[in-house]
Structure 1
Amino acid sequence: MEIGKIPTEVLKEVIFSNIKHRRSEVLVRPNIGEDCAVVDFGDYVCVMSTDPITGAIKDIGSLAIHISCNDIASSGVEPLGIMLTIMAPPNTTKEDLSYVMAEANKAAASINVEIIGGHTEITDAVNRMIISATAIGRQAKNKLVLSEGAKIGDAVFMTKHVGLEGVAIIARDLEEKLKDKVSYDIIKSAQEFSKDISVVKEGILASSVGVHSMHDVTEGGIFGALWELAEASGLGIEVYEDNINIREETMQICKLFSINPMRLISSGVMVITISQDKKDLMVEAFNSKGMDITEIGKVIKEGRIVIKGDKLIDLEPPYVDELYKAFES
């Protein structure tokens, strides 16, 4: 199989089909496009999500915190605790572990989440450090937002700009390869994208306005996330590619590696659906906080298409993330 996320059809056939035992307390189970598990705790629910960091070398402590907490935020929930499992190769030093944990602690403090446990192990089963993080949050049951909540006619929005995480990883981990090909300013600016990886503030703000669904953009990029959002809701979607926000740094770096930025891992970006009568209220709320938000599509009854100029293109499921092209080259 190819490196990256397991294809949707394999996920359904091999993974989901083998999860058969059920408990009544579990309200949200594994599903395409659904970021979190939800467990009934009476008036409240416990919301959980887990993610590994495998595609980056630098900043993995920070990324581990933000990536899992972003999933919690996509349910409109403020994360309160996170558990970290670190698997490190035999050549790892105490200084390496100390750096990663200091980085993780700084990231956790920035979004007011506590590292509440985990596991750390040196093993020859990996050739570079791998971190898996599980984030936990609590939410009133009637305020929970799910990816499956999109409704026909909803306006579709994105926050920030596409390729955010992927371009930051490339600019940091492959800086030497970039030096002779793009300007110093472009590289340094792209590296700074990593400061915008969190979507916790966006998720909580959007939830307060009354959105129908949210989904954070990870592997597979914004096109993958939009397809997953539609799949989770069993609906169609039309996407206006010309409206999608993309930075000059992203265009230059993606061009070097023949990367499609619309299929590039983009943690830090949230896709949101909201009713037409509330969308202006949401835009006003985001603008008042100095947060970028852009309308990029509409939820429809059936069909998943991208509109680019006068062309209609099928919106396909997520496949191998474009980030791997940079490292393969």
Structure 2
Amino acid sequence: MVKHGKPSWNTMSFLLSLLPIEDPDLVVGPRQGEDAAVLRLRDGFLVAHVDPITTGVRKAGYLAVHVAGNDIAVRGVAPRWFMPVTLIPAHYSEADVEELFRDMGAALREIGGVAIGGHTEVTPGLDRPIIAMTAIGYTNGRVISTRDAREGDHVVIIGRIGGEGAGVIAWDFEDLLLGKGVPENIIKRAKGFIYDVSIVKTALAVKDYVNTMHDATEGGVIQALREVASASGKDIIVDADAFQIEKEVEEISQRIGVNPLRLLSSGCIVASVPPGNLDALLSRLRGLGVGFSVVGHVVKGGGRVIVESKSGGRIVVDTDVVDEIYKLWNQ
């Protein structure tokens, strides 16, 4: 078992074999890379997902809503109903808990979501809050799957790479950054990235142009690419020099020795796009004012990500990626 982050898919496959997961109305169940479960319900589909916030502290409530909601949105479905399980450290004050819930409320209002239940408790042994958020949506239209990338598709990264990770680090490790010489204005701007992690509006605006979308969360863009490749049974070839990384993310990553491509990236979508839709997609993104990088293409293969550079370097990623942010919690 890994020390931090998600277990390997082989481990998860074994663990899932211990559970009943067969149901005639379960269209998409537990599978590598799939963002949410899909259940057949009357004339449409119920789409559900749960995600924990375990590496953020100051803005855990805000992140919990958007990280879970994003995984519904990349299915092409609007997230609507939310259920937080909030585990609170014993040393937290009432004001600290209130901040968590105020942040959750603000995030829900931003995307038109509502809380329909959940669970809250003070839990022994915690040094920081943990929020596991369930998000649910419903549609009678198309549901996008991670496994639908096709040979010949372009691979487009939509949104800010590593922004969530840089924001979490700026909030929770500010003293470390200052000690490493990161300018205060860079830290301040990175803190603002936390408020830009929702991809709900973007995903719903571009859903008709893509074969698949996947939210880049733990393990960053490289892990998201790996999950699309693995789920689709294809290889993805990307140009290492094509990723557009903002200077705040680059500065923070360099100073503390983390790779921004392997860093928490909620707010960033990995999409595979049919060649005939690429120009229309990019035009739509420009109209929305959303940044993007066209980084590669999908080819025949078996679930690898092949990262090539103009200097001739080549890295093959064929195992899951541990997020770089865990390096900080281990210090």
Q: Which category of TM-score, normalised to the shorter sequence, fits these structures?
A: over 0.9
- For 1:194 and 1:90, the matched residues in 2 are separated by 26
1:48 aligned partner: 48
Q: Render the CA deviation track for 1:186-219: whole Å, top value 9, x for unaligned.
A: 1111111111111101210121x33110100011
Q: Would the aligned equivalents of 2:154 and 2:275 in 1 still touch at CA under 8 Å?
A: yes
Take 1:255 and 1:279, find their aligned partners in 2: how far apart are those partners? 32
Query: What are the within-5 Å matches in structure 2 for residues 141-156 of structure 1?
Result: 142-156=141-155
- Cα distance change on mapping 1:304 and 1:129 into 2, 3 Å: closer
Q: Secondary structure at the match of 2:116?
A: strand
In the alignment, the residues of structure 2 paired with residue 9 and residue 170 of structure 1 have an alpha-carbon distance, to the nearest angstrom, of 31
- The residue that corresponds to 1:99 in the other structure is 99
Q: Which one-letter code corresponds to 1:126 in the other structure?
A: L
- Structure 2 stretches lacking a partner, 5+ long: none
* Local SS of the residue matching 2:217: coil
User: More deviation in 282-291 or 57-66?
Assistant: 282-291
- C-alpha deviations, 1:161-206, integer Å up to 9, x for none? 2211111111111112222411111111111111111110121012
Letter in 2 for 1:238: I
Aligned partners of 2:123 and 2:85: how far apart in 1? 12
Q: Contact 1:215/1:225 (CA < 8 Å) preserved in 2? A: yes
SS at match of 1:193: helix
> How do 1:104-123 and structure 2 match up within 5 A?
104-123=104-123
Structure 2 residue aligned with 1:325, among 317, 321, 327?
A: 327
Which residue is 1:17 aligned to? Answer: 17
In structure 2, what is the Cα distance between the partners aligned to 1:260 and 1:131? 26
Q: Show the 5 A alignment for 1:174-189.
A: 174-180=173-179, 181-189=181-189
Secondary structure at the residue paired with 1:117?
Answer: coil
Equivalence for 1:314: 316
SS of residue matched to 2:40: strand
Cα displacement string for residues 43-72 of structure 1 (whole angstroms, at most 9, x for unaligned residues):
210000000110011101100000000100
SS in 1 for 2:118: strand
CA distance in 2, matches of 1:252, 1:114: 37
Note the C-alpha offset of 1:236. Answer: 1.1
Letter in 1 for 2:194: S
Secondary structure in structure 1 of the residue aligned to 2:17: helix
Q: CA deviation at 1:316?
A: 3.4
How far apart, in 2, do the equivalents of 1:249 and 1:210 lie? 30
- What does 1:288-307 correspond to in 2, within 5 Å? 288-302=287-301, 304-307=305-308
Other-structure match for 1:229: 228
SS across alignment from 1:18: coil
Correspondence for 2:209: 210
Q: Which runs of 5+ in 1 are unaligned?
A: none
Distance 1:170 1:159 in 2: 22
In structure 2, C-alpha distance between the alignment counterparts of 1:268 and 1:304, rounded to whole Å = 21
Q: 1:234 to 1:19 in 2, by over 3 A?
A: farther
Q: For 1:210 and 1:259, how far apart are their aligned partners in 2?
A: 33
Contact 2:214 2:271 in 1 (8 A): yes
The reply on whether 1:88 has 2:85 as its aligned counterpart is: no
Shift of 1:249: 1.3
Q: Deviation per CA, 1:235-286, whole angstroms, max 9, x where unpaired?
A: 1110111111111111221122211111111111000111000111111111
Q: Normalising by structure 1, report the TM-score.
A: 0.95
Tell me: CA distance 1:315–1:77, structure 2 relative to 1, closer, same or farther (3 Å): same
Does the 8 A contact of 1:212 with 1:274 survive in 2?
A: yes
Compute the displacement of 1:125 (Å).
4.3
Q: Which amino acid aligns with 1:82?
A: F
Provide Cα deviations, 1:273-313, integer angstroms capped at 9, x if missing partner: 11000111111111111111221110101153111112222
Scaled by the length of structure 2, what TM-score is found?
0.95
Corresponding residue number in structure 2 for 1:250: 249
Contact kept in structure 1, 2:225 and 2:305, CA below 8 Å: no
CA distance in 1, matches of 2:235, 2:259: 23
Equivalent pair of 1:224/1:316 in contact (CA under 8 Å) = no
How far is the alpha carbon of 1:314 from its aligned partner? Answer: 0.6
- For the Cα contact (< 8 Å) 2:21–2:29, is it kept in 1? no
CA 1:46–1:179: 2 relative to 1, 3 Å: same
CA RMSD of aligned residues (A): 1.4
